[in-house]
Amino acid sequence: MDWSRTKSIMIAILLVCDLVLGGVWLKERHDENRDIAAANAAAVSYAENHGVSVNCDIPSASKRVYVLSLSFEEGEGPGKTEYRNIPIEVLGSGEREHLSEIKKKGSKIEVLPAYSAVLKSVSNRGFSIDSIELIYLVDRSAYSGQGGQDTALPYWKIRAGSNYYYYAAYSD
Amino acid sequence: MQKGITEKVKNVLLVVLFVITILLLYLSWNKTGRDFSVSEIIPFSGRTSVYVSESDIVLPRLVLFTEGDSGWSVGNPEDKKAFEAAKKKASELLLETSVVVSEISEAQYKTVSEQYASVRFIMSAALPFSEFCVNICGRSAGISDSIGNMQELAFSEATKDSFFIKTDDKYYRILSDIQTDALSEIRAASDITQTRLYSASKILGRENDALIPVGAAADLANINAEIYAFNEELLAEEVFGDTFDFVRKISDKFGNTTYMYSYGAKRLAVSADGSIEYKEDISSGESGGFYSDLETALQFLSLTDSFDAGALRLTGAEELSTSRLKGYRFVFNQFEKGIAVDSREDAAVIEVLGGKVSYAKRSLVSYTHAEEERIVNDAANVIAQNSSNIYYLLTDEYPEDGNLAFNYVAGKITSVDPVYYFHGGKLLLCWRISVGERRFYCDIETGEAYGLV
Amino acid sequence: MKHRARIISFVLALCMLMSSTVFAAAPKASIVSPSADTVVSGDSLLISVKVADKNSVKVTVFEELETVTDAKTSKAALISVNPSLLTEADLKAISSDYSAKSDASSVKEKETPVSDNAAAESTSTAAVTEEKGESQTASPAAIPASTKKYVYTDIEYTSPAGFTASGELGFFTKQLTGVKPGLYRVQVDVLDADGKTAESIVNFVAVKEKPAEAKTDIFETQQSGAMTFLSNLLKSIFK
């Protein structure tokens, strides 16, 4: 058997496959980004028509993230503050406990696009959106100081002046 | 040499292109929104759901046979065939073209059930009679919902064309137009024990219809036991289903864990001692009726990994109603060898509203090994031994003398049953002496008082 | 003097009578079931004895058998008493008769010699007593208590059952099954510290077969099916 010729044919086939797959993938990415950009623009327009001004760029990249399992220890400590460049925000904890360990939980979940948070914020008339970012949020108000484990889910955090608003970034 | 280099380049290209192909395929797969994992291709489940059917759980508390001689023989509490036979005979009578339901007096009911050979099924939980009829014979047979909940079902030698029921406050005769030897067939299907029951009037000498056992089942022993600790993660996965990825899990340093979905709209709390509590806000839905709601409750009960839910029996049922929803509240308790297991809490309480489980609480006991067999002391003797204590606990007064205390208690007793009392890490064989809602647990052999509920 | 002696005797007798009632001790044991001098139906018998103050008792059930002489062979046999011939009044008389005999002699002297005319067929502990002047043949009519013959027979225990109350009050209960129709005597002997019988309490009970005929009038006052339907309909309309 002429292995050299066989290898050449396989290289040609794989090359064609990769080009097709790569092309399809790139096109999908392009279409997705275009759709998100269009949706973002429509959301900004809708928000401004309802008295909410948007003074920042709305993140357009789609993402999939893990839900996090967090471990807290009582007392002050150097606590972790982010996971894979996504900030972790712990509400109601104060200095009575600190975040000691982060583990991913289950499989990745789809993150809702940022414009969904903009649309939900329309109910607050008269304010302006100064920034919007993806964070992990956990509310420890009812449990703070006791230590233990908790779960952090992705949220869109919107800053409007000195106020902050949190909207779930997942759809169940 | 040129050829050698060419071949090497080809080899490298092949590998690189192959890897790129795999990568592009992975990215395409990921794009569909699913994580690629082996378990998705090869399904694997490390858990088993044990499904329990209604006929295993809706059973009588007591099956009593009499020859009309003012004493009662007791059917084996583990035996289900007697009740199956009774349902079959009732069904035969109901399926006739002409069925008449008439109210009778308490005196008439007592006559047919006490002065003639008869069998009485005293239910653990009262069942809506019209739905019971549909359940056993497939149609309502003209039985009205207004009849209420069946607490007792009886067949008597006095009439072979009827059966009788006792509801919360009334008695009924269901008359058919055929004759059937129900009593003989039920007796033939039953396993009748040596235990006999007599009224407190006959045994204790005080006016009281409550039944007291003479001679309890043998081969019984205390059992070492503990709260059943199941795999809470698996239970939570089954309870929350597809939404489990979005469930918040909170654990404290004491070992208690709470699973919360959608800001508490669905919430599962697992205590360190193994008991669980589940709540869900239900805003809409329709109740399918007693048996349909019971089926829903049983499916929830079956959400365990390996616990034998067949050891549970329905011991209470009441209708629930909110402004928009209807349903039932079911209470279940554990039974071992047909004997009730009593602890501080019911084994399981499940509320079904709008056809969905809105509340569930469960605290189960698992058994490890049995100790030596106990010798059963007469129930009457144990009552006499503890009558002064029981008198004090009921009245907050010390009795002037033992006879006074005994006469008072003997006149107030509502039932006496052998039970397992979960106390101190063991299932202790006890006589449970009930006075209304109050329960006194006394060791079945020594008569020592363990507790009052 | 004579008059004074009579008065003193009368006062003494009165005092003794009153002291026996005023200072009478609470019963050490009593038979709750079967009730005294009753007739029961069926083939089971419940024995329930209430024992007070850590007393010890011995419970025995005897069957009362009567002697019947065959007119042809002149042989005597012991048979169960026919309970259908007994009423509660008969049982009261039997009980009184027994009490009188017990008062007249001690418990041990109750076993009198077997009569020459009677063929003694009995269990190992049986003994026959015979009233003087009585008929040898059992009459089908209710036999007056004074002419009754009794044979004492053990119940189906391996031995008479002993019981000691562990506290202020205790109960001895026993279920007898397969009891044949007849006349039975439940005897509770209260034992003293030496294990000897200090006093005996006795109840007589006649056990009859359960009547086979069914009563048919339980539901005679019941309305017919059509009337019940109509009345239920009217009730629902005018509710």
* Minimum mean pLDDT range among A112-121, B40-49, C4-13: B40-49
Is 90 exceeded by the pLDDT of residue B170?
Answer: yes
Residues B428-442, mean pLDDT to the nearest whole number? 92
The alpha-carbon gap from A7 to the nearest alpha carbon of chain B, in Å, equals 7
CB contact under 8 A, B69 and C40: yes
Q: Are B320 and B329 in contact (CB under 8 A)?
A: yes
Rounded to whole angstroms, the Cα distance separating B100 from B112 reads: 18
Greatest mean pLDDT among B37-51, B225-239, B350-364, C75-89: B350-364
What global pTM score does this model have? 0.76
What pLDDT shows up at residue C159?
55
Closest chain B CA to residue A6: B10
Contacts of B157 in chain C (CB under 8 A): 214
Closest chain B CA to residue A171: B246
Interface residues of B toward C, Cβ cutoff 8 Å, are 67-71, 98, 100-102, 104, 108, 111-112, 115-116, 144, 157-159, 173, 175, 196, 198, 202-205, 214-215, 378, 380-381, 383-385, 387-388, 402-403, 406, 447
Report residue C110's pLDDT band, with 50, 70 and 90 as the boundaries: very low
What pLDDT shows up at residue B371?
79
Rounded to whole angstroms, the Cα distance separating C20 from C14 reads: 10
C61–B contact, CB cutoff 8 A: no
Question: Helix, strand or coil for residue B390?
Answer: helix
Query: Given a contact as 3+ CB pairs under 8 Å, which chains touch C?
Result: B
Q: Output B280-284 pairs: Cβ under 8 A, ≥24 positions apart.
A: B280/B356, B280/B357, B280/B358, B280/B359, B281/B358, B282/B325, B282/B353, B282/B354, B282/B356, B282/B358, B283/B324, B283/B354, B284/B324, B284/B325, B284/B354
Closest chain B CA to residue A105: B245
Is 80 exceeded by the pLDDT of residue B284?
Answer: yes
Is 50 exceeded by the pLDDT of residue B246?
Answer: yes
CB contact under 8 A, B17 and A15: yes
What pLDDT shows up at residue C131?
31
Phi-psi region of B91 (alpha: psi -120 to 50; beta: other; left: phi over 0): alpha
Q: Which of B259, B216, B218, B212 is nearest to B240 (CA)?
A: B259
> How big is the CA angle at B109 (ends B103 and B115), to the nearest 5 degrees?
155
Contacts of C201 in chain B (CB under 8 A): none
Rounded to whole angstroms, the Cα distance separating C201 from C196 reads: 14
Other Cβ atoms within 10 Å of B143 Cβ, number: 21
CB contact under 8 A, B245 and A172: yes
C179-193 pLDDT, tens digit per residue, is: 888 888 899 999 988
The CA radius of gyration of chain B, in Å to the nearest whole number, is 29
CB contact under 8 A, C175 and B402: no
Residues C35-45, mean pLDDT to the nearest whole number? 86
Report residue B440's pLDDT band, with 50, 70 and 90 as the boundaries: very high
B400–A contact, CB cutoff 8 A: no
Residues B281-308, mean pLDDT to the nearest whole number? 82
CB contact under 8 A, B384 and C219: no
Residue A137: φ, ψ to 5°: -125, 140
The alpha-carbon gap from B246 to the nearest alpha carbon of chain A, in Å, equals 7
CB contact under 8 A, A25 and B244: no
Is 90 exceeded by the pLDDT of residue B225?
Answer: no
Q: Output A32-41 pairs: Cβ under 8 A, ≥24 positions apart.
A: A32/A62, A33/A60, A33/A61, A36/A60, A36/A61, A36/A62, A36/A113, A36/A115, A39/A113, A39/A115, A40/A113, A40/A114, A40/A115, A40/A118
Question: Helix, strand or coil for residue B302?
Answer: coil
Q: Are A155 and A69 in contact (CB under 8 A)?
A: no
Of B10, B245, B261, the CB nearest to A11: B10
Rounded to whole angstroms, the Cα distance separating C127 from C110 reads: 9
Interface-testing mutation among C164, C175, C205, with chain B (most B C-beta atoms within 10 A): C175
Residues β-bridged to residue B162: B175
B37–A contact, CB cutoff 8 A: yes
Rounded to whole angstroms, the Cα distance separating C219 from C225 reads: 12
The Cα diameter of chain C in Å comes to 93
Rounded to whole angstroms, the Cα distance separating A62 from A110 reads: 8
Contacts of C166 in chain B (CB under 8 A): 381, 385, 447
CB contact under 8 A, A7 and B11: yes
A61-110 pLDDT, tens digit per residue, is: 768 899 999 998 888 777 778 899 999 998 887 777 888 889 998 888 88
What pLDDT shows up at residue C236?
52
Rounded to whole angstroms, the Cα distance separating A24 from B24 reads: 10
What pLDDT shows up at residue B139?
76
Residues B280-295, mean pLDDT to the nearest whole number? 90
Q: Are C174 and C162 in contact (CB under 8 A)?
A: no
Q: Are B236 and B268 in contact (CB under 8 A)?
A: yes
Closest chain A CA to residue B240: A172
Q: What are the structure tokens assigned to B339, written together?
A: 């004997």
Other Cβ atoms within 10 Å of A61 Cβ, number: 12
Interface-testing mutation among A6, A13, A25, A136, with chain B (most B C-beta atoms within 10 A): A25
Question: Helix, strand or coil for residue B388?
Answer: helix
Is 90 exceeded by the pLDDT of residue C113?
Answer: no
Report residue B227's pLDDT band, with 50, 70 and 90 as the boundaries: confident
Contacts with B259 (C-beta within 8 Å, 6 or more apart), sequence order? B236, B239, B240, B247, B248, B249, B250, B267, B268, B269, B270
Higher pLDDT, B47 or C73: C73
CB contact under 8 A, C48 and B205: yes
Q: Which of B363, B198, B335, B357 is nearest to B269 (CA)?
A: B363
Residues B418-424, mean pLDDT to the nearest whole number? 88
Return mean pLDDT, chain B: 85
Interface-testing mutation among A8, A13, A21, A73, with chain B (most B C-beta atoms within 10 A): A21
Rounded to whole angstroms, the Cα distance separating B350 from B322 reads: 16
In B287-355 the beta strands, taken as DSSP E runs, fall at: 312-321, 326-336, 339-342, 348-353
What pLDDT shows up at residue C105?
57
B249–A contact, CB cutoff 8 A: yes
B132-155 pLDDT, tens digit per residue, is: 999 998 877 777 778 889 999 999
Closest chain B CA to residue C166: B385
Residues A49-55, mean pLDDT to the nearest whole number? 86
Residues B60-82, mean pLDDT to the nearest whole number? 90
Rounded to whole angstroms, the Cα distance separating C173 from C184 reads: 17
* B and A touch per CB criterion (3+ pairs under 8 A): yes
The alpha-carbon gap from C186 to the nearest alpha carbon of chain B, in Å, equals 15
The alpha-carbon gap from B33 to the nearest alpha carbon of chain A, in Å, equals 7
Burial class (CB in 10 A: 0-12, 13-18, 19+), A89: middle
Is 50 exceeded by the pLDDT of residue C120?
Answer: no
Is 90 exceeded by the pLDDT of residue B108?
Answer: yes
Rounded to whole angstroms, the Cα distance separating C188 from B221 reads: 32
B265–A contact, CB cutoff 8 A: no
CB contact under 8 A, A151 and B7: no
Q: Are C171 and B381 in contact (CB under 8 A)?
A: yes
CB contact under 8 A, A172 and B262: yes
What pLDDT shows up at residue A36?
80
Rounded to whole angstroms, the Cα distance separating B147 from B128 reads: 8
> How big is the CA angle at B394 (ends B388 and B398), to the nearest 5 degrees?
45
Whose tokens are 């006093």? That residue is C199
CB pairs under 8 A between A and B: 85
The alpha-carbon gap from C35 to the nearest alpha carbon of chain B, in Å, equals 8
Query: Given a contact as 3+ CB pairs under 8 Å, which chains touch A?
Result: B
B14–A contact, CB cutoff 8 A: yes
Task: Give me the half-sphere count of Cα atoms (radius 13 Å) on the Cβ side of residue A48.
Answer: 9
Report residue B253's pLDDT band, with 50, 70 and 90 as the boundaries: confident
Report residue B22's pLDDT band, with 50, 70 and 90 as the boundaries: very high
Question: Helix, strand or coil for residue B287?
Answer: coil
Is 70 exceeded by the pLDDT of residue B370?
Answer: yes
Q: What are the structure tokens assigned to B17, written together?
A: 């292109």
* Minimum mean pLDDT range among A116-125, B158-167, B390-399, C103-112: C103-112
Rounded to whole angstroms, the Cα distance separating B317 from A130 reads: 57
Other Cβ atoms within 10 Å of C193 Cβ, number: 7
Is 60 exceeded by the pLDDT of residue B39?
Answer: no
* Interface predicted TM-score (ipTM): 0.74
> How big is the CA angle at B81 (ends B362 and B70), to the nearest 5 degrees?
100
DSSP code string of A21-81 = HHHHHHHHHHHHHHHHHHHHHHHHHHHHHTT-EE-SPPP----EEEEEEEEEEES------
User: What is the percent of chain A with per-residue pLDDT over 70, rounded to a whole number?
Assistant: 95
Return mean pLDDT, chain C: 68
DSSP code string of B312-324 = EEEEEEEEEE-SS
Query: Given a contact as 3+ CB pairs under 8 Å, which chains touch B?
Result: A, C
Residues C61-81, mean pLDDT to the nearest whole number? 79
Rounded to whole angstroms, the Cα distance separating C186 from C202 reads: 6
Contacts with B395 (C-beta within 8 Å, 6 or more apart), sequence order? B408
Higher pLDDT, B429 or C85: B429
Residue A7: φ, ψ to 5°: -60, -40
Q: Using omega within 30 degrees of 0 as the cis cutoff, is the peptide bond preceding C34 cis? A: yes
Report residue B68's pLDDT band, with 50, 70 and 90 as the boundaries: confident
Q: Are B64 and B119 in contact (CB under 8 A)?
A: yes
What pLDDT shows up at residue C180?
87
Q: Which of B386, B361, B260 is nearest to A151 (CA)?
A: B260
What pLDDT shows up at residue A103?
92
Report residue A17's pLDDT band, with 50, 70 and 90 as the boundaries: very high
A118-137 pLDDT, tens digit per residue, is: 888 887 667 788 999 999 99
Closest chain B CA to residue C27: B403
CB contact under 8 A, C173 and B214: yes
What pLDDT shows up at residue B376?
86
C230–B contact, CB cutoff 8 A: no
Contacts with B271 (C-beta within 8 Å, 6 or more apart), sequence order? B255, B256, B277
Higher pLDDT, B423 or C114: B423
Rounded to whole angstroms, the Cα distance separating C33 from B69 reads: 14
Rounded to whole angstroms, the Cα distance separating B384 from B408 reads: 11
Q: Encode A135-156 in three state secondary structure.
A: EEEEECCCCCCCCEEEEEEEEE
Is 90 exceeded by the pLDDT of residue B106?
Answer: yes
Higher pLDDT, C233 or A126: A126
DSSP code string of A78-124 = ----EETTEEEEEES-TTSEEEEEEEEEEEEEEPPPHHHHHHHHTTS
Rounded to whole angstroms, the Cα distance separating B324 from B286 reads: 9
Is 50 exceeded by the pLDDT of residue B162?
Answer: yes
Report residue B211's pLDDT band, with 50, 70 and 90 as the boundaries: very high
